[in-house]
Structure 1
Amino acid sequence: MVTTAAWRIAADLPDPELPVVTIADLGILRDVTEDDQGRVHVQITPTYSGCPAMETISEDLVAALTQAGYQRVDVEFVLSPAWTTDWMTDEAKEKLRAYGIAPPGPVRGGPVSLSLAVRCPRCGSPETRESSRFGSTACKSLWVCRSCHEPFDHFKAL
């Protein structure tokens, strides 16, 4: 894929729910094409079907690209193949950890492995417990560290 100016603008867009990572870091930015008449077509894939952030991301993409001088911006939601946490960059996972969110483990096309422990992103302890299957967003679960007693989100592996 050729990296264009429009791609760089779209790739730099922060996720509205996780502002420490970009939509490219998360792997939801699929493709960006532009033509010589100022038209841009962006393809994004939601982390979950019905993810409420997708509408905001679409509006933010249109605003950023229009502000950069593109005349027409179309955003397409691509549902297949479904997004997976394997599309997240290693940099995104480290940014999440630094932000206090435990990143997901690998999925890599096989069965989802059973995780008996999630390491606390604050103190690194594996002595944690899930307190709620859903955290601040549907793509995260809420955990509590038994060592430092801090609650934290864990980004679910999909």
Structure 2
Amino acid sequence: MSQLAEKPAEKPSLDQVWEWLDAVPDPEIPVISLVDLGVIRGVEWQDDTLVVTVTPTYSGCPATAVIQMDIETALKARGIGDLKLNTQISPAWTTDWLSDKGRAKLEAYGIAPPQPAGGPEKCPHCGSRHITKVSQFGSTPCKAHWRCQDCLEPFDYFKCI
């Protein structure tokens, strides 16, 4: 596809736009999409302008600019010429917004998904419940570092926020 995508003959449906956005990976955890992460809060047409509302995982998230650029790039490549990105910080993002599909993808990737109890239930590698917290801080501010006592593999736990 060329750098300059042709404008579609008619506006794509919102379902189509959501499908396109579901293919845009999170820049910090590329195994899940921005839709699975729950940061895409709304998509609507306002006349001929597509408005996408994004809630960052936290107000100082360094990936926010990259997320917005990735959304813009993905949609413009599909012919969306008139696009407006809104950043919405209230209500604040929460791990409750992670989709079930996203949680399953995190675990398959080796990251324990958030749990209401405040810690992982099991090792995402072997399923053992013999796990130990190594550090409250992991590879990103939203993750903690854990280790399995059976398979001895380290893993990140996506903290509840």
1:83 to 79, 93, 96: 93
1:119 to 115, 118, 122: 122
Q: Determine if contact 1:101/1:121 at 8 Å carries over to the other structure.
A: yes
Cα offsets for 1:88-147 (capped at 9, x unmatched): 1111111100000000114xxxxxx454x5411001112111112121111111111111
Structure 1 residues 46-125: aligned runs within 5 Å: 46-106=56-116, 113-115=117-119, 118-125=121-128
Which sections of structure 1, spanning at least 5 residues, go unmatched?
A: 107-112
Q: CA deviation at 1:56?
A: 0.6
The structure with the larger Rg is 2
TM-score (norm 1): 0.86
Superposition misfits of 4+ residues, deviation over 4 angstroms = none
Match of 1:145 in 2: 148
Shift of residue 11 of structure 1? 2.8
The answer to whether the 8 Å contact 1:48/1:139 transfers is no
Normalised by the length of structure 2, the TM-score is: 0.84
Unaligned runs of 5+ in 2: 1-12
Aligned residues: 149
State the match for 2:20 in structure 1: 9
In structure 1, distance between residues paired with 2:94 and 2:16: 26
Matched, 1:133 2:144: no
Instruction: Give secondary structure in 2 for the equivalent of 1:5.
Output: helix
Q: Does 1:20 align with 2:31?
A: yes
* Amino acid paired to 1:155: F
Contact 1:100 1:152 in 2 (8 A): yes
Partner-residue secondary structure (3-state), 1:32:
strand
Give the distance between the partners of 2:122 and 2:17, measured in 1 at CA.
Answer: 37
What do residues 52-94 of structure 1 show as CA deviations (whole Å, max 9, x unaligned)? 1111110011111111111122211111111111111111111
Identity of aligned residues (%): 46
